[in-house]
Amino acid sequence: MGSKPVKVAIIGLGGRGKDAYADCAFRYPDKMKIVAIADPIKEKRDYVAERHHIPEEMCFETAEDLFAREKLADVVFICTQDRMHYGHAMAALKKGYHLLLEKPISPIAQECAEIEKTAKEYRRHVQVGHVLRFTPFYQAIKRTIDSGRIGEVVTIQAIENVQYWHQAHSFVRGNWSKKDASSSMILQKCCHDMDILLWLVGKRGKYVSSYGGLYYFRPEKAPEGAALRCMDGCKVKDRCPYDAERFYLTDGIMKGYDGWPIIILSVHPTVENIRQALLTGDYGKCVFHAGNDVVDHQVVNVELEDGVTINFTMSAFTSRSGRTLKVMGTLGDIEADMDNATLRIGCFGKEPEIIDVNKLADDFSGHGGGDFRLVEELLDDIIEDREPGSGLTSIDKSMESHYLAMAAEESRLNHGMSIDMDEWIAKLRA
């Protein structure tokens, strides 16, 4: 290809930086080279430094230390926690870096707008981690809609099946369990859905309303005999689907499984360190006594331009994970199930066509194949010096999903009050 690999710095070496993105350097050795990393946890730095041959002087304890140095790379992958994104993104942009910025851009609308403005001023690429646009699954749905086979889209019904244990891991016991420390659930988990649904239809949201709350994971729902921690003499653990000891330990690491989410409890999981983590850390807490406050179910209704509608549900209470949706058009419908990797295209008066999404590509690792494809687009954007904003996703394309999710949260807190998106955005800009 002739050009040099893009130099990448990664800040935040957790589930995203270390596990999802760093190894893209092995997948695209001609396009990507990790030259610097930052994370306060030495074990994580050592792990990535060793795998990618990063010299010690380029391994920083914090993003702040890295940004204090001259510009070290072409692009920074910002994989720190939600509330750090703004500070890290602004520092990186002002230093002249392009960005892969994990979603959400920021939990605060004004900060999102400021990052967008600064990216434009400095003419930098800011690829927001909306990986779903890059999945063969959603691309097949988008192609079908754009082909006109089902006519004009009139309404979409979509469900994000969070799955009971994923809710418990991330949103009850884990990093995103408290809104003030992270984000609202509808922004944190479902900005992906807002983004993908708007993209599929290709129209703007005009009005939004939402209901939902924290129904189940609260102290008053704890069964009699529940202890504060699963391994602290809980009397109901045998019948509790959320028993952390069974999930992480006896059915997890003790059976040789050491992938996600067990790897979140320890960089190098062993039976002993996972047991310790459960005895003392957040992941061993009873789901009814974890001190969480984000919702476990929420519905969002959106009216788009031309009166097209979207009805979206996020629920913790599902046995399987993944997204399902039904796109209803004037000439037919699409029923799609990401977990089953199938699309059923039913054109009115014709035999339905079933598409097996597994046959459309050969690699579905990392968010249905979205993670590495998103990285590749950003690398190509930089290598080919494309105009920022010209790719499949970019910060300007991601703003609308964030605003919609934030307005939905405001509506939910006001018992479903309908919010006019134009007025909401105008107020933000005033």
Ligand X SMILES: NC(=O)c1ccc[n+]([C@@H]2O[C@H](COP(=O)([O-])OP(=O)(O)OC[C@H]3O[C@@H](n4cnc5c(N)ncnc54)[C@H](O)[C@@H]3O)[C@@H](O)[C@H]2O)c1
β-strands 342-347, 332-337: how paired?
A: antiparallel
**Contacting residues toward ligand X, per CB under 6 A:** 11-17, 38-41, 44, 62-63, 79-82, 102-103, 129, 131, 175, 188, 367
Q: 240 or 325: whose CB is closer to ligand X?
A: 325
Smallest gap from Cβ 161 to ligand X, in A, equals 15
Terminal alpha carbon distance of the chain: 47
β-strands 6-11, 32-38: how paired?
A: parallel
Q: 67 or 207: whose CB is closer to ligand X?
A: 67
Q: 295 or 419: whose CB is closer to ligand X?
A: 295
Encoded tokens for 84: 């750090």
Dihedral, 408, 412, 417, 419 alpha carbons, nearest 10: -10
Q: 40 or 148: whose CB is closer to ligand X?
A: 40
Q: 308 or 405: whose CB is closer to ligand X?
A: 405
Smallest gap from Cβ 405 to ligand X, in A, equals 13
* Residue 24 backbone dihedrals phi, psi, to 5 degrees: -60, -25
171, 250, 277, 369, 377 from 257: Cα distances, Å = 22, 10, 16, 22, 32
Shortest-Cβ-distance residue relative to ligand X:
14
Smallest gap from Cβ 417 to ligand X, in A, equals 27
Q: 17 or 332: whose CB is closer to ligand X?
A: 17
β-strands 32-38, 59-60: how paired?
A: parallel
Smallest gap from Cβ 420 to ligand X, in A, equals 28
Q: Which of 176, 190, 76 is nearest to 126 (CA)?
A: 76
How many other CB atoms sit within 10 Å of the CB of residue 147? 9
Q: What is the secondary structure of 20-58 as a DSSP string? A: IITTHHHH-TTTEEEEEEE-S-HHHHHHHHHHHT--GGG
Smallest gap from Cβ 130 to ligand X, in A, equals 7
Smallest gap from Cβ 11 to ligand X, in A, equals 5
Q: 44 or 402: whose CB is closer to ligand X?
A: 44
Q: What is the secondary structure of 310-327 as a DSSP string? A: EEEEEES--SS-EEEEEE
β-strands 205-213, 419-420: how paired?
A: antiparallel
Smallest gap from Cβ 241 to ligand X, in A, equals 23
Smallest gap from Cβ 20 to ligand X, in A, equals 7
Exposed, middle or buried, 143 (CB in 10 Å: 0-12/13-18/19+)? exposed
Q: Residue 213 forms beta bridges with which residues?
A: 297
Q: Which of 106, 180, 207, 217 is nearest to 411 (CA)?
A: 207
Q: 17 or 284: whose CB is closer to ligand X?
A: 17
Q: 4 or 27: whose CB is closer to ligand X?
A: 27
Smallest gap from Cβ 426 to ligand X, in A, equals 28
How many other CB atoms sit within 10 Å of the CB of residue 359? 9
Q: Which of 317, 311, 137 is nearest to 241 (CA)?
A: 317
